Every structure is written in structure tokens, then in C-alpha cells.
Structure 1
Amino acid sequence: MKKILSVVIAMVLIGGGVWGCFSYKKHEVKEAVHEYLIKKGTQENQIKVLDPFIANLEGDKNLLVAVRLKNDKKTYYYYKDQSKNKFVLESYALNGQEYVQ
């Protein structure tokens, strides 16, 4: 009984650790993109949505942030290029059509 309980606890801790790691990374990239947009000149009240997600792409593109601005029908997808320490517009979507940069 103790072995089963130990295995269950270990699995819960490992699963929670993995989930926590991804949640932290998503939050970190969301805040970094938010700061980038503000520094670029986008006003705080113009930012409608910042939605980080796992894109299942290679390297730094795995974590993207979807950005929607007021009075703009496009959805922009940014990621942080860790090697150059800069933000890159990966693509944007307009009316369901995606345009890769």
C-alpha cells in the first residue's frame, strides 16, 4: 500500500512540476511581449488580448503569444528569439487566413 501511495504522490508531483514549468514560461513570455509592445509605442489601452500558448513548433517558436489590438482585425503571433534576445513577429492572421513572415 505504501509503494502505491508513493508512486501516486511521485506522479502527481512530477505532473505538477511539468505543468508549473510550462505555466511559468507562458507567463514569462506574455509579460515580455507586453513590455516589448509598450516600448515599441503601443499604448496600454490599445492592447485587447495577450494570449500565450504552446504552438508545437521548433525551438523558440514553441511558445507564441497571440496579440489582438483594438481597431485592428489582425491577430499577431510573436515569439522571443533567445539567441538574439529580441522579439519576432512569426505570423499574423486576418479573417481566418494566416500570413507567415
Structure 2
Amino acid sequence: MSEGLRERLLIEHGPVTLRIGLPVNNTVLLRVLRTELGLSLVEIKSARERVLAGGYSGTLPEIEHLARRLRAAGIDATASRAGNGPGRGG
């Protein structure tokens, strides 16, 4: 996705957050993040912390794609708008 399209989606529709059900297998989470996002080992640890804290967000297509990959790996994951999701009144 081009950066221009990404920015337009964020402006028009707002960010979507990745929600993870606990407990989570950290090894699997790190593997999926590294594979799907192409991050370094240092970067995936930071991304993992953001995911677990409910602070990893992006466009709906980006987050839904990542959530699907996580679900395929056995992790309970959903893409939700602010204020929605497991344990958040969603």
C-alpha cells in the first residue's frame, strides 16, 4: 500500500487497533510479527510490547491482515476501532 493511500485511509476512517487475547505464546507472536512486518529482532520486541499493551494500530487492511495471520498461527487476534475489542466493551 502506498504511503499516500495509507495516510488517506487513516484520515478518512481512523486507525484500527490490533487486539490480542491472553494468554499468548510469545514465540509464535514474535515469529508472526517478524514474518509479516519484516522487522529486525529489536524492532519486533518493541512491536510485541505495543501489541500486548493494545497500542499497535494501522489501517483496517493492515491490521486485519495481521490479525488473520495471528489467528492462523493459533493466537486470538482481532482488528477493532478505538474502544472496541476483547475486554473493552466491544
Common fold, TM-score beyond 0.5?
Answer: no
Query: Which structure has more helix as a fraction of its residues?
Result: 2
Query: Which structure has more strand as a fraction of its residues?
Result: 1
Give the alignment's TM-score, normalised by structure 1: 0.29
Give the alignment's TM-score, normalised by structure 2: 0.32
Which of structures 1 and 2 has the larger relative contact order (alpha carbons within 8 angstroms, sep 6+)?
2
